[in-house]
A and B are shown apart, each in its own frame.
Chain A
Amino acid sequence: MFKVVGLYKNFDEVKVLKNINLEINKGERIVIIGPSGSGKSTFLRCLNGLETVTKGKVYFENKDISKKDGRETLKKCGMVFQSFNLFENQTVLQNITLAPIKNKLFDKRIAKKKAMELLDKIHLKEKANVYPSDLSGGQKQRVAIIRALIMNPDVLLFDEPTSALDAEMIEEVLELMKEVAKTGMTMIVVTHELGFAKEFATRVIFMNEGKIIEDGAPDEIFNHPKTERLQTFLGKIKKV
């Protein structure tokens, strides 16, 4: 699905990602953990072309994403952001149907029907015609998730999808993500919710200072951390 080869990313003088090599296969659910500032967001954004890489290659479905046809296939890679990023001038329904209609995935009528079905699944049907400003954070994020889903993506990236939420709303978003996981969707999730990570992930990656330090099954990472840095990181999180 994704293949990352010798990836470096600098912002001017700041070296953020240092030689990342990675292969991600279809159906994997990867959780990326690591201290803030370690380059997790930047890495996700390099995967879907929101950042241009400084050195190295990113392949998506065997296509180089720095090339035109690679960029085209990235339409099959959805993303969910920490700050939801719903279109504020569009109703919930319009938010969901805009991209599939413009991309000629479905015609208007079918897009609406699918959107309403999805809204029904997350129990927000009655919010179809309100603007995002009328939604709670948890509702916004769930709408953002189905907005990405309606595009029939092959993979979904999540960048701290619950970090901007009040505690009581975190669960509803994590639940929806688990629902999505049941469909076999490939998912790459940056999160600090370690409890969720343990039961959700098929693979966990620990990043620190722009490098992948550990990469393994949840059990290995959480119960048998090999490096001191991961041990320290897990220790810190547990105390919080």
Chain B
Amino acid sequence: MADFLNSIGDKFYQSFIYDDRYLYFLDGLKYTIIIALFSALLGVIIGAIVALIRDYNKEHKRLLLLKKIADIYVYIIRGTPTLLQLMILYYVVFKSININVVIVGILTFGINSGAYVAEIIRAGFDSVGDGQREAAKTLGLSYFQMMKSVIFPQAIQKVFPALGNEAITLLKETSIAGYIGIVELIKASDIVSSRTYDYFFPLIISAVIYLFLTFLLSTIMKKVERRMKRYV
């Protein structure tokens, strides 16, 4: 038994402490967070714009071309694997351009997430109901005044849990960034494993870090959600 514990302690030491290997994990964590954070931001911006274009088109029968582009974008993103999108951006789109690989990662995950966020926000718009839109119109509010003051705040509040889920999905999905050479958390643990010939601890450490991150994220989202519930 003592031997067993000793060997476990040793393996942990090898995977985490020896040669400052925890630095790999910290570095990996840094990239995971950077990519997740900025692509989430990008995703929300793209998603909101796409949802607005579609909504505006539905209401005013204008911006037809933009609406078609938005539809095709959502269709393609939702119909293909994220890994494929990542590889296409890296190996095809940015092949001959000297661009930081982390930025390629952020762009991929941001563009990817934008399609899902667009669908979520659309559901939010639909949940508000036409009555308030009609009231806004008869009060002489413009489309953008109406969206900003009436529809958007309610839509976001209603779909906030879904946006939280999307953020967690996105966070986990960034783990495939290793395919294009970004040393995020999983890739970092991979590197450590190749040094120690032990997969157990590096993977467990990554798992614990991911669990902590998703726990943190959902806790924050719940807190914000509770603060938003002023009306209803």
Contact with A along B108-148 (1 / 0, CB 8 A): 00000000000000000000000110111111111001000
Q: Report if B154 contacts A (CB, 8 A).
A: yes
Q: Report if A106 contacts B (CB, 8 A).
A: no
Q: Are B232 and A90 in contact (CB under 8 A)?
A: no
| B side interface size, CB within 8 A | 20
Chain A, residue nearest B157 (CB): A89
Q: Are B149 and A87 in contact (CB under 8 A)?
A: yes
Q: Are B145 and A102 in contact (CB under 8 A)?
A: yes
Q: For residue A201, give the distance in angstroms from its CB to the closest CB of chain B.
A: 22
Q: Are A90 and B138 in contact (CB under 8 A)?
A: no
Q: For residue B132, give the distance in angstroms from its CB to the closest CB of chain A.
A: 5
Q: For residue A65, give the distance in angstroms from its CB to the closest CB of chain B.
A: 13
Chain A, residue nearest B149 (CB): A98
Chain B, residue nearest A49 (CB): B137
Q: Are B134 and A131 in contact (CB under 8 A)?
A: no
User: Looking at the complex, which of A73-81, A169-177, A210-218, A228-236 is the stretch in contact with chain B?
Assistant: A73-81
Contact with B along A83-124 (1 / 0, CB 8 A): 111111110000000110011000000000000000000000
Supposing A79-B138, A99-B140, A102-B149 touch, asked if A133 and B132 sit within 8 A by C-beta, the answer is no
In the complex, which range does the number of interface residues on chain A fall in? Answer: 20 to 34
Q: Are B134 and A87 in contact (CB under 8 A)?
A: no
Q: Are A87 and B132 in contact (CB under 8 A)?
A: yes
Q: Report if A147 contacts B (CB, 8 A).
A: yes
Q: For residue B141, give the distance in angstroms from its CB to the closest CB of chain A.
A: 6
Q: For residue B204, give the distance in angstroms from its CB to the closest CB of chain A.
A: 45
Q: Are A98 and B141 in contact (CB under 8 A)?
A: yes
Chain A positions within 8 Å of B142 at CB level: 102
Q: Report if B231 contacts A (CB, 8 A).
A: yes
Q: Can you give 14 A-B contacts (C-beta < 8 A)?
A: A50-B134, A50-B137, A50-B138, A75-B140, A78-B138, A79-B138, A81-B134, A81-B135, A88-B154, A89-B154, A98-B139, A99-B141, A102-B142, A103-B140
Residues of B within 8 A of A (CB): 131-132, 134-142, 145, 149-150, 153-154, 157, 230-232
Extra contacts besides A84-B131, A89-B150 (5): CB < 8 Å: A50-B138, A81-B134, A98-B149, A99-B141, A132-B231
